[in-house]
Amino acid sequence: MAETNWQFVGKIEDLKSRPLQQIEVSGKKLALSYKDNTWGVISGFCNHVGGPLGKGCLEGDYIVCPWHYWKFHRQTGIGQPGYEENRVQQYETK
């Protein structure tokens, strides 16, 4: 199994203070979410027209794009029910 190159993105206490935020890791913008004591990281860009997912909002377990309201599961990146093929990249956390 290949070793993952983990990146430090901030102190847990600080990151927990917002349920959704945009972060940048190695030049990539990502959407970081925290809900029910679990983390999620997906691509920071909606695959529709590139809306900033980290600047959207949470609706249940879905991140809602602030531009056209497309929804992606905050941990898997899969589109909302009925639109599962509209997925974005998901990233592991620890």
Query: Do the Cβ atoms of 56 and 50 come closer than 8 Å?
Result: no
Q: Using an 8 Å Cβ cutoff, are 34 and 41 in contact?
A: no
- pLDDT beyond 60 at 1: no
pLDDT at 39 over 70: yes
Confidence of residue 5 (pLDDT cuts 50, 70, 90): confident
| CATH topology classification for 12-91 | Rieske Iron-sulfur Protein (2.102.10)
Burial class (CB in 10 A: 0-12, 13-18, 19+), 41: buried
Confidence at 6, pLDDT banded by 50, 70, 90: confident
pLDDT beyond 90 at 27: yes
pLDDT in tens, 40-91: 999 999 999 999 999 999 999 999 999 999 999 999 999 999 999 999 999 9
Q: Which own/partner pairs from 1-6 qualify as long-range (CB within 8 Å, at least 24 positions apart)?
A: 4/92, 6/94
Give the CA angle between residues 10, 12, 89 to the nearest 5°. 70
User: For the whole model, what pTM was predicted?
Assistant: 0.91
Report how far residue 56's alpha carbon sits from residue 70's, in angstroms, rounded to the nearest whole number.
10
